[in-house]
Amino acid sequence: GQQLNQSPQSMFIQEGEDVSMNCTSSSIFNTWLWYKQDPGEGPVLLIALYKAGELTSNGRLTAQFGITRKDSFLNISASIPSDVGIYFCAGFSGNTPLVFGKGTRLSVIA
């Protein structure tokens, strides 16, 4: 089945630093999505990307849909303590279930 490789698995950064994480797939997707999960909560959608090459921002977050349709990255600029959580990439092709990466656990040191 389809698999997503998400890296890094975890990151420890200082408040104010920029963060980058990425996801690669062995299959092509039509949609890439990035979710964030706070402790004790369900994942929440941050950004959805629908077109190869698309670059989308949401506040301090920027995500790109790779031109090959097999990868995506998420950048967070000027991190703050509330950015702590697990970030999941997800790939979607319309007729198959959403496939999630294994998550990047972000810790921000104040």
Partner 1 sequence: DTAVSQTPKYLVTQMGNDKSIKCEQNLGHDTMYWYKQDSKKFLKIMFSYNNKELIINETVPNRFSPKSPDKAHLNLHINSLELGDSAVYFCASSQDQQGLSTGELFFGEGSRLTVL
Burial classification of residue 11, based on how many CB atoms lie within 10 Å of its CB (0-12 exposed, 13-18 middle, 19 or more buried):
middle
CB of 93 to partner 1, least distance (A): 9
Q: Which of residues 48-77 bind partner 1 (CB under 8 A)?
A: 48
Return the structure tokens found at 54. Answer: 């698309």
Supply the minimum distance, in Å, between the C-beta of residue 101 and partner 1.
9
Return the residue of 2, 3, 5, 44 that touches partner 1, per CB under 8 A: 44
Query: In the range 81-100, which residues lie near partner 1 by CB under 8 A?
Result: 86, 88, 90, 92, 94-95, 97-98, 100
Bridge partners, 31 (sequence order): 92
Q: Does 78 bind partner 1 (CB under 8 A)?
A: no
Residues ≥6 apart with Cβ < 8 Å to 59: none
